[in-house]
Amino acid sequence: MSDQKLPNSNSEQANEENPIERLLNIMAMLRNPKYGCPWDLEQSIASLAPFTIEEVYEVVDAIERNDMVDLEDELGDLLFQVVFYAQLASENEMFSFKDIANTVSNKLVRRHPHVFPEGKLELFGNEQALSSEQVVVNWEAIKQSEREEKKARRGTESKPEDESILDDVPRALPALERARKLQKRAASVGFDWPDIEPVFAKLKEEVAELEAALANEDKAAIQSELGDVLFSAVNLARHVGTEPEIALRESNQRFEKRFNWIESALQKQGKRLQNATLDELDQLWNQAKNSGL
């Protein structure tokens, strides 16, 4: 790594910087080959990916706990991830933080023609006549156009018959979210049921196939059919307008609260979980549920 110009660390100048400039300056110092942090200097765009995923989940956790103090802190950590990527890319002359900011600004203006007519900020201020549903339809059409432009920018050469509308659904997404996005993308070209009844029927069909696999003690089939059940459940969530990831997280929280209630109830009785019968645990579970947990 070649030597970089050492950012000006004069405290008086630092106080005059806006918060983003200060953050960018600190990031450059952390990556300075001579005076920076050894850990930060070892990182690459690829090595940061797991930390970014972790930070996103910590943001979501703070939101679910309605902890605004933690949320401010976790959003800062997430912003730092963006700044870190920008620094790494800038060192390799790929793009900078300014490029990232300009790209997202341009994207927002381009995807909101109903707010910014002709893609011009100076034309902002017209009353809206579109419904939120119409906005979503337009949004998807604009995104499809952007995908085509990205292929051209990358110089991707492929025949139309080799391309799929599902190609750019990120593979690193959590499985539930990727299932939702795959289904949503397929639905955008008409591959979807028009109402919820066949969705329920499909879920019941997949459950029956799972039961058959269990009866046959076929491990490979059990895994396959269980996956189909989960995929169908995601489809049901999509059709009723519920985010499957959020729905499952809420179920996890309810389970945790009820289980903690059971532990506390047994402690008050001088018992331990390991010594309680299944009937006792089931009764306590129902009590916890009936208590509103």
Query: What pLDDT digit, counting tens, does each position of 189-227 carry?
Result: 899 999 999 999 999 999 999 999 999 999 999 999 999
What's residue 15's pLDDT?
A: 57
Q: Do residues 74 and 88 share a domain? A: yes
What's residue 139's pLDDT?
A: 75
| Mean pLDDT within 60-79 | 94
Size (the chain), residues: 293
| Mean pLDDT within 2-9 | 52
Half-sphere exposure of 110 (CA within 13 A, CB side): 13
Domain with 123 in it: what CATH number?
1.10.287.1080
Res. 13 pLDDT band, cuts 50 70 90 = low
Domain C-terminal end among 162, 190, 222: 162
pTM of the model: 0.64
Q: Is residue 6 part of a domain?
A: no
Q: Do residues 137 and 17 share a domain? A: yes
Domain C-terminal end among 162, 192, 225: 162
Q: Do residues 16 and 77 share a domain? A: yes
Q: Do residues 149 and 42 share a domain? A: yes
Q: Do residues 197 and 238 share a domain? A: yes
| From 138-142, 172-176, 184-188, the region with the lowest mean pLDDT | 138-142
What's residue 172's pLDDT?
A: 79
Is the pLDDT confidence value at 3 over 70? no
Res. 9 pLDDT band, cuts 50 70 90 = low
Is the pLDDT confidence value at 128 over 90? no
CA distances for 124 relative to 103, 119, 136, 143, angstroms: 19, 9, 20, 21
Q: Report pLDDT digits (tens) over 258-283.
A: 999 999 999 999 988 988 999 999 99
Domain containing 256 equals 246-290
Q: Report pLDDT digits (tens) over 147-159.
A: 777 777 766 555 5
Q: Report pLDDT digits (tens) over 222-249.
A: 999 999 999 999 999 999 999 998 899 8
| Mean pLDDT within 168-185 | 88
| From 7-21, 32-46, 225-239, the region with the lowest mean pLDDT | 7-21
Number of structural domains found in the chain = 3
Tokens standing for residue 86? 């920008």
| Mean pLDDT within 118-129 | 83
Is the pLDDT confidence value at 292 over 70? yes
Q: Do residues 111 and 204 share a domain? A: no
Mean per-residue pLDDT of the chain: 88
Q: Do residues 250 and 226 share a domain? A: no
Q: Is residue 89 part of a domain?
A: yes
